[in-house]
Structure 1
Amino acid sequence: MGKDSDLCCDQLIRRFDHMTAVDQVSLDVPAGTFFSILGPSGCGKTTLLRLLAGFDRPDSGDIFIRGQRMNDVAPNRRPVNMVFQHLALFPTMTVGENIAYGLRRQKVPAAERRKRIAEVLEQVGLPGMSDRNPQQLSGGQRQRVALARCLVLRPTLLLLDEPLGALDLKLREQMKVELKHLQKSFGTTFVYITHDQSEAMVMSDQVAVMRNGRFDQVAPPEELYRHPATPFVAGFVGDNNRLSGEVTRVSGDTVELTLAGGAQVSGLAVSPGLTPGQQADLFIRPEALQLQPTVTGERLSRLTAGVVTTLFDGANSRVELEVAGQTLFARLPQDGSWTSLAGGHPIQLSWAPALARVFAGATP
């Protein structure tokens, strides 16, 4: 347990009948961190958040908040607050009354309440809106009121249960940036759960990728993206091409892969445990693929593919490709380098070996 940690969990387990929803989860979240738990529906992330909030109890393992064991502490006595997807603002109360609700329960004097409400409204960008009704506000403003209602209580941890899920796409993109700014402004430790990789990657200092009740990898967003530890992380975080094949040669720090269909790819960075004859999967990010090498003096992996089609995708073009019966795509800039490529046209792809990953015995 780190001495500067706001949250530590040690080997948490939670079972329901014959299913283990949280399976030996340990984590250490430093103070002031935006920590996200990312995973598909049913992976256990909501159950884990309920354990942290005190709405449920672990079958084994421990939860510590600022060094204090929380297993037997009631939810209302934990230094924790929670923002839900559906906000749960009181429609018959004003914005100020909604924010004051928790302060009243804590018996904070009226003068102190007014001061703290004014301060938190200023911090969340809603000054002077204390007397408004929540129904008069936009979706983004209501979201900020829900955050203010929690943050005014000055919790050690703010738990956020997919709070952007009910917003439209444009507002969700805006709120991702605002949430990150608010977290830094308040300095509160956020624990955020989501199935949306974009939310986790944009906002977080650390991300835990969860699958089947366990963490596959815990790392900063850039590390997850560039150096996934498992095939699941490689496929779940960001767009990725996946090509199946067999390891035909391992030499020093490189490996050669024969793809299903016979195409060979050499010069790949070796991964632990790879041996000739093993089935393996090659993962390559679409933006790593080049039609023409742009880096000189660097060893590149190469592959010949056929163009299927090209699609306009804003600032980039998505070029659909086929190699040995398997499909992949490249994300290329709108510089005209691909415009003459017709369907079936063979092209040479290249990429830096460090930008691809090979996993032995990869699973779906």
Structure 2
Amino acid sequence: MGIESDLFCSNLVRRFGSNAAVDHVSLDVPAGTFFSILGPSGCGKTTLLRLLAGFDRPDEGDIHIRGARMNDVPPNRRPVNMVFQHLALFPTMSVGDNIGYGLKRQKVPAAERRTRIARVLEQVGLPGMENRNPGELSGGQRQRVALARCLVLEPTLLLLDEPLGALDLKLREQMKIELKHLQKAFGTTFVYITHDQSEAMVMSDQVAVMKDGRFDQVAPPEELYREPATPFVAGFVGDNNRLTGELVAVQDGLAELRLDDGSMVRGRLGQSSPPIGERADLFIRPESLVLGGDALRPDYSALRASVTATLFDGANSRLEADSAGQTLYARLPQDGSAPRLREGAGVQLAWDPMLARVFAPGAV
């Protein structure tokens, strides 16, 4: 257990019949961290959050918050608060009464309640709104009231269960930045549940990618993106091209694959590499693909392809091309450096092998 850990869990298990929704999960979250648990629906992340909150109990393993074992501590006695997706504000109470509800239940004196409510409203950017009704606020303002209601209690952990899921796209993008700023301003440890990789990548200090009740990888966002530990992480975090072939050689950490059309390609070996002669998957990011030409380095891998579509996407164009029945995606800059390509045009798509990862076949 880390000396400055706000949350430490060891080998947590929660079963429902023969199914382990949480399967020997361990984590160590330092104080003041924005920690996200990212995974698809049904992977166990909400069950894990319920264990942390005390709404459910683990079948095995331990939960420690600030060094104290929490397994038998009821939810209302844990130094934890929770923000739900639908916020659960009291519609007939004022903003101030919503925020002060927990303080009132703790029998905090009225004068101190008013001081703390005013202070937290200032901190979340809603000064002077104590007497407003939640129905008069925008979606983003209601979101901040829900956060203020939790943060005013000064919890050790703030648990957030997909709180941005009900917001429209533009507001969701804005709230991602605001949530990160608020977490840093308060210094509270956030444990954030999401299936949206963009939320996790933008806001988090550490991200745990969850699959089938287990953590596939726990790392900072940039490491997850650039150094995926498993084929599932490579396929789930960000866009990736996936090429399958036979592993024919390994030298100096680089694997060489023969694709089904006979093309030879290379990439760095991942943690799970198959034996020579077995099938393997190569993953390469769309932004790592470049259009081939005379200036290509001799160590680059390259495939011949035919353009099937070019799609405008803001700062980039999304190029789709077919290579022997395999669809490849590339991102080309809109700065005039990339040629204008028509459907059916022949291209060469190439990449630096150090930017590709090769794994034994696995679920993506």
TM-score clears 0.5: yes
CA contact (8 A) 1:5 1:31 kept: yes
CA contact (8 A) 1:81 1:159 kept: yes
Match of 1:201 in 2: 201
Aligned counterparts of 1:199 and 1:342: Cα–Cα separation in 2: 35
CA contact (8 A) 2:269 2:359 kept: no
Match of 2:335 in 1: 335
Match of 1:69 in 2: 69
Aligned counterparts of 1:45 and 1:294: Cα–Cα separation in 2: 49
1:24 counterpart = 2:24 = yes
Match of 2:60 in 1: 60
**CA-CA distance at 1:251 after TM superposition:** 2.6
1:340-359 equivalence runs, <5 A: 340-359=340-359
1:165-244 equivalence runs, <5 A: 165-244=165-244
Match of 2:151 in 1: 151
Matched residue SS, 2:242:
strand
1:133-144 equivalence runs, <5 A: 133-144=133-144
Match of 1:250 in 2: 250
Aligned counterparts of 2:244 and 2:344: Cα–Cα separation in 1: 21
Match of 1:290 in 2: 290
Aligned counterparts of 2:53 and 2:174: Cα–Cα separation in 1: 27
Matched residue SS, 1:88:
coil
CA contact (8 A) 1:247 1:256 kept: yes
C-alpha distance after superposition, 1:11-61 (max 9, x if no partner): 000001121100000000000000000000000000000000000000010
**CA-CA distance at 1:295 after TM superposition:** 8.6
Match of 2:51 in 1: 51
CA contact (8 A) 1:89 1:98 kept: yes
Aligned counterparts of 1:260 and 1:193: Cα–Cα separation in 2: 40
1:318 counterpart = 2:350 = no
Match of 1:270 in 2: 269
**CA-CA distance at 1:293 after TM superposition:** 7.0
C-alpha distance after superposition, 1:207-230 (max 9, x if no partner): 000000000000000000000000
**CA-CA distance at 1:336 after TM superposition:** 3.8
Name which of structure 1's ranges 78-87 and 245-254 shifts more when overlaid on structure 2.
245-254
Matched residue SS, 2:21:
strand
AA at the equivalent of 1:327:
T
Contiguous gaps of at least 5 residues in structure 1: none
CA contact (8 A) 1:263 1:324 kept: no
Aligned counterparts of 2:258 and 2:15: Cα–Cα separation in 1: 43
Aligned counterparts of 1:173 and 1:294: Cα–Cα separation in 2: 41
Identical aligned residues as a percent? 74
Instruction: Give the TM-score of the pair, scaled to structure 1.
Output: 0.96
CA contact (8 A) 1:262 1:324 kept: no
AA at the equivalent of 2:268:
A
CA contact (8 A) 1:298 1:352 kept: no
**CA-CA distance at 1:265 after TM superposition:** 1.2
Contiguous gaps of at least 5 residues in structure 2: none
C-alpha distance after superposition, 1:227-278 (max 9, x if no partner): 0000100010011111111112223332211112222214x22335343211
Match of 1:40 in 2: 40
Counterparts in 2 of 1:336 and 1:92: CA distance versus 1, 3 Å: same
CA RMSD in angstroms, aligned pairs only = 1.6
**CA-CA distance at 1:88 after TM superposition:** 0.5
Matched residue SS, 2:291:
coil
Name which of structure 1's ranges 239-248 and 43-52 shifts more when overlaid on structure 2.
239-248
